[in-house]
Structure formats: structure tokens, C-alpha cells
Chain A
């Protein structure tokens, strides 16, 4: 069979693969190369070795952005998952209107990051103005603003995954637990959560990776104000690259470091998922 198929390879392979080369492979390789160059518009690229990486690592604002992002990822992970799990539990109970509630909670997830950012900017600045403050005044406002905004956006998404997980728990298991007299916390800890581990793992990594890659919302909500103190990694890279003349190579080097970091998180996810599968 393979032989027959292979004859038709061009139809199946070339469109996607050619686009993949143009849209991914070439830019990726050029990106790696440029991280080792000093340049303004590529035409003037000069190889400079690893000095860009050195500059990137010693850039205090980049380091600040790293810790800010890490903390943001942690907090938003906790908030989103706790609330999404709780809502999923509640909405799988017998209750009127669960479908409508699901619909409402999921909706913000479809709104684009730029639009979301400006919606929430109005809300936060309106609230903060009552005490004479504004988002741009403190990185703390920006931080909690981002946390609330991404929670609003992503709780619905994670809730859907948790609901799917909860519905997949066999009824017999719940009944058996009831017969054993397990209720409330006990049941949650000993039956529900272990059964939900795959969903929890997925949501954990989705929220963490989303937080690390967050860009649009950051740009529109705070744009890094004040003084780049509310910049997450992705925005810091963008601003280094496009905002500072002479720092293009450093921006590209930061992007490579960022890429390594995200791949690292991905590899951890893979291992955790694998080990879970083995246990089961």
C-alpha cells in the first residue's frame, strides 16, 4: 500500500511542508543565527559570538521579567485551577442552569488578547481611580490585573477540561465510595482527585505555558508600565528587539533563551505525563 501512496506524495506533502519551511524552519534557523550577530536590519549582520547572550543574562530588566513571569505563572496557575476545579465540581451537580453557566464562563476565552486587555484596562483604572491610583503606577497593580484578567479568560477553558474529566469517572466508583462512607473532603481527596490527575496535569501545563507565553494581554493592559516593571518575558523580548536600537541581537538572544525555557517546561510535562501513564 505504501508504494501506491508514495507516488502521490507531492499532493499530500508539498503544500504543508513548503509552507512549514517558509513559515517555521527558515525563520527558526535564521533566528538562531541572528542571536549570534549584531545587526539593525539584517543587511548589516556581523557575527559577534555569544556576547548577545552575555548581555541578555546581565540585563537586570530581563531578570526582573523572568522572576515576574515565574511568579505570575505560579499565582495564575493556582488561582485558575482552584477556581476552575471548584466550578467544575459545582456544575456537575444536579442544578438548574448548569448549561447556561458553562456557556457564560467559557465565553471570555474566545476574546482576543488585545481586546481583553483594553476591556480590563478600563475596569481596573476605573476602580483604582477611586483611590487615586492607576495601573501604570505600580507593578503590583499590573501583576494582579494580569492575574485577574487571565483568570477571567481561562477559568472557563480549564473548567471544560475538568468537567470532561469528572464525567469520565465511572459511576461505580462514586457509588463504591458512598458505600464505604466516604463523603465530602475524604471522597474528594481519595477518589476524585486521583481520578482527575490526567486532567489536572493537562491544565497545570496549559496554564503555566500560557502564562509564560503571554504577550497580547500584557501589551494592551499595562504595556510594561511603570518603567518595564510589569513586563513579562515575551513583551520584554519584543521591546528589547524593536524598542532599542543596537539591541536587536540581544533581543534575539533573549528569544533563544526563552525558547529553551519553554521547551524545558514542555519536556518536564512529557516526563510527568509519561510517569503518570506508567503508574496507571
Chain B
């Protein structure tokens, strides 16, 4: 019996040791800048290193898998790509980062995301990748360290079907403001039986699609408020432009293919399907959706700014920015870090890599090697800039937390089902009070 007891005790001790180890590691990982952050020689032997990329963008999952395979064929370096399910990036990142084989490459969405993960970010300042950046504004700095590097610039707006718009008797030039958009949308709704289509594709609030409204659409009132106050982030949002938010949301949900009460079950797929089958003229989405909507035919695709009726919107362009920053995991093995840096460098410099990113994935990349885009939606966005319209910046990386977005999303869904002032008040509460409390929770 004694033997048995001592044996189990020994097993237990091994475990507590192991538990202890992981804990005593703490100070090391925190302050060992000398060993780990010293840039490994950029041309070291990388055959032993591995790359594990936790990808954020579901639309490009297949493309990344393909590119990874190509890279492995060329260099023999193993590259694993895992894409988190829509809305599950933080969850997946957290559970993956706790593992022994943690991702060597992950993403944060900007300063707010970085705040949670800055202790895990390898300083990219001296990497060859940083040298390829077209401009320093695409680096995400954490004090003196370059924690992240943006790898894609995207634009979104209201994608529309030119043919259907013409059928309804209008053209792009008729839409220069929120009022124009509203008049046209409501006119289409009034005649939808006769026309055979609706103004907007369903604003699906299923988890697969609600980010289009709780995040992307919500960017506009935030943008105008920041602009009016001359700030670029805040601890307390005032909600000065929430009436405009309501107006555009009303427009979306009351002029759509779907009764507003049914939006909560509508998925992103439903909206895409409605748009490409010609059931709706307008569809809010961005350049990343090109592959999904391309079956409509390139010549039929147009994109408009999202007008919400704010002052100065006659100069408003599309919403352009990024919420995708590459971060390299500082705690990965040095050879894996090196392999990751090499892979990234290859992605943004080699012909295959750049082609895959710019053409297959349809990205605009903020690197020197960026190609002229073959994505017509990107070209539309460029046209707006060329014509002197001011792009709307992406301010949703300053939203205080995922929790905040979810709160706004639920309130929007509730309001869509029953468009009362009380329910809108709930959206306002989630937006304004939620911001303050989530900001405090995140920064206390």
C-alpha cells in the first residue's frame, strides 16, 4: 500500500511541478527582451521552423490554405492555417494561445485588441517585413515596439446592382446624400411588386452577419462624432449621431426583402443570395465580398458611400481602413518566429505571394509590392479617392470590446422586430452607457 501511495504522490508532484513551472515562467516571458526579441538573423536556417497562422478573415480561408500549401511545396516549411469561425476569433485565439503549439502568427484588430495581447507580440521593428511597408502609418505601435503590421486595406459601402437601379429608373448620380438614398429606396419599396425586387438585401442579424451593422454601420455615427469633437478615440461616447444611425437602420430594415421581425434568423448567406439573384438593389458590404458577389457580373456592380445624413456628407467617400494587423507570437520558439517572419516576407514580396494576396484574395496591401487591383470594388474605392472624396476612417477598432458590439447588436435586433422609441432607447443605452462601462472594464 505504501508503495502505491508514494507512487501516486510522485505522480501528483510531477503535476504540481509542471503547474508550478508554467507559473514560474511568468516573469521570464514578461522581461526577457534580450534573448527572445533579439532579431534572429534574417537568413538563418529555417528548415526546422514551423508557421501556424490563426487567420481572422473567413472569406479568405481557402486562399490562405492554398497559399500555405504553395509555400510548403516551395520551401519545405510547414505552414498551418486555422481560421476562426465568424465572431469567434478572440475565443479561438485565447484557447489556441494557451496550447503548447500556439499560433506563431495571429491578428489583433487595432489598439483595443492589442491591449489584451501586447505581452505576446514580437517586436517587428527590425524585421524585413517592416521594411516592406509602404508607409509607417500601417504599423501598430505599442510604445517603442512595433507590435503589429497591417496587411490589408479594405473599403466598404453600399454595394448595388446597376442594372436593377436603372430598371427602377435611377442611376448612381441620383444618390448624393442620405435623402436621395431614402427617397429612392422608399420608391422602390412602394413599387416592389411591380419591379419584382426590393431595395435592400436582408440585414441579417444572425451571428454570421450582424457585424455588418453592429460594427461596420455603427462606424459612421462614431466617425462623425470623433470628427466633430476632433478626437480619434474616447472613453465615453456621446452618441451625437445616433439619430442618423437610427435613420439608416430604419431604411435598411423597412425597405428590405424580408419583414423586419424576421431579420434575427437571416444569415450572411441569405443576404448574399438575395443580392446575386437580383432580389435586391442594395447590399451593405465591402471589397472582401467580391468573390461572393462576382457571379452577378462585374459590370453590374457598383458601390456607394453609406450616407447617414450627417453634415458634410456630400464629400463622404467609402469607409476605408483596416482592422487586420499581423502579430508574431513572441513566446514561440526562435526558429518558428524566424520561419514566420520569412513566410510573411515571402507573402508580400514574392510574385506568388503578392499575386495571391492582391489578385486571388482581392486585397489592397500596404506594402511596396502592391499590385493594381483586379477587384472592381477596390477600383471603385480608389476612384472615390481620386475624385477627391474623403474616405471614412475605420473607427471600430476603438470600440471598447466584443461585448459592446454584441450588446448593440442585440438591441438593434430587438428594435428591428418592434420599432418603438423604447426599443431605440435600448440601442442608445447599449451604445452610450455600454461604451462607458465596457471601456472601464477593459481599462481598469
Contacts and interface: CB of A to CB of B under 8 A. Distances in A.
The answer to A–B direct touch (Cβ < 8 A) is yes
Contacts of B3: 9
A179 interface: no
Given A41-B98, A133-B261, A137-B417, A9 B1 contact: yes
Nearest to B418: A137
Contact of A44 (B26, B90, B410, B417): B26
B413 A246 contact: no
A1 interface: no
B407 A227 contact: yes
Contact of A41 (B12, B15, B94, B430): B94
A240 to B, nearest CB: 10
A49 to B, nearest CB: 16
B259 to A, nearest CB: 6
Most B Cβ at <10 Å: residue of A129, A132, A244: A244
B116 A246 contact: yes
B227 interface: no
A227 B262 contact: no
Interface string A116-152: 0000000001000100111111100000000000000
A26 B12 CA distance: 8
Contacts of B417: 132-134, 137
A136 B11 contact: no
Nearest to A247: B441
B417 to A, nearest CB: 5
Is chain B's binding surface mostly helix, strand, loop or mixed?
A: helix
B11 A132 contact: no
Nearest to A137: B417
Contacts of B4: 9-10, 13-14
Contacts of B207: 223
A16 to B, nearest CB: 11
A94 interface: no
B441 A246 contact: yes
Contacts of B259: 132
B410 A40 contact: no
A232 to B, nearest CB: 17
Contacts of B117: 40, 245
B402 A45 contact: no
A26 B4 CA distance: 18
Given A42-B98, A43-B22, A44-B119, A227 B430 contact: yes
Interface in B249-305: 259, 261-262, 264-265
A258 B85 CA distance: 28
B331 interface: yes
Contact of A245 (B29, B94, B331, B410): B94
A227 B410 contact: yes
Interface string B84-105: 0000001100110110001000
B23 interface: yes
A136 B23 contact: no
Interface in B1-30: 1, 3-4, 7-8, 11-12, 15, 19, 22-23, 25-26, 29-30
A169 interface: no
B413 A43 contact: no
Contacts of A229: 410
Given A43-B25, A129-B262, A225 B410 contact: yes
B31 to A, nearest CB: 12
Contact of B22 (A42, A46, A243): A42
Interface residues of B, number: 47
B98 A244 contact: no
Most B Cβ at <10 Å: residue of A10, A14, A133, A225: A225
Interface in B391-437: 401-403, 406-407, 410-411, 413-414, 417, 430
A6 interface: yes
A17 interface: yes
B90 A43 contact: no
Contacts of A17: 8
A267 interface: no
B442 interface: yes
B119 A21 contact: no
B199 interface: no
Interface in A32-48: 33, 40-46
Most B Cβ at <10 Å: residue of A40, A42, A227: A227
Given A43-B29, A45-B26, A21 B11 contact: yes
B185 interface: no
B205 interface: yes
B409 to A, nearest CB: 8
A110 B138 CA distance: 53
Contacts of A247: 441
Contacts of B402: 243-244
A128 to B, nearest CB: 9
Contacts of B411: 226-227
A242 B91 contact: yes
Contacts of B264: 134-137, 225
Nearest to B99: A41
Contacts of B19: 26, 29-30, 33
B94 A226 contact: no
Most A Cβ at <10 Å: residue of B11, B19, B23, B411: B23
Contacts of B265: 125, 129, 134, 136
Nearest to A126: B265
Nearest to B18: A26
A18 interface: yes
Contacts of A6: 1
B239 to A, nearest CB: 18
Contacts of B12: 21, 25-26
Given A14-B4, A26-B12, A40-B94, 5 more contacts: A43-B26, A134-B417, A137-B413, A243-B402, A248-B94
14 contacts: A9-B4, A26-B15, A33-B19, A41-B120, A42-B98, A129-B261, A133-B417, A134-B265, A137-B413, A225-B264, A226-B410, A227-B430, A242-B94, A244-B402
The list of the 7 closest CB pairs from A to B, nearest first, reads: A132-B261, A227-B410, A245-B116, A136-B264, A226-B410, A134-B264, A41-B98
Interface of B: 1, 3-4, 7-8, 11-12, 15, 19, 22-23, 25-26, 29-30, 90-91, 94-95, 97-98, 102, 116-117, 119-120, 205, 207, 259, 261-262, 264-265, 331, 401-403, 406-407, 410-411, 413-414, 417, 430, 441-442
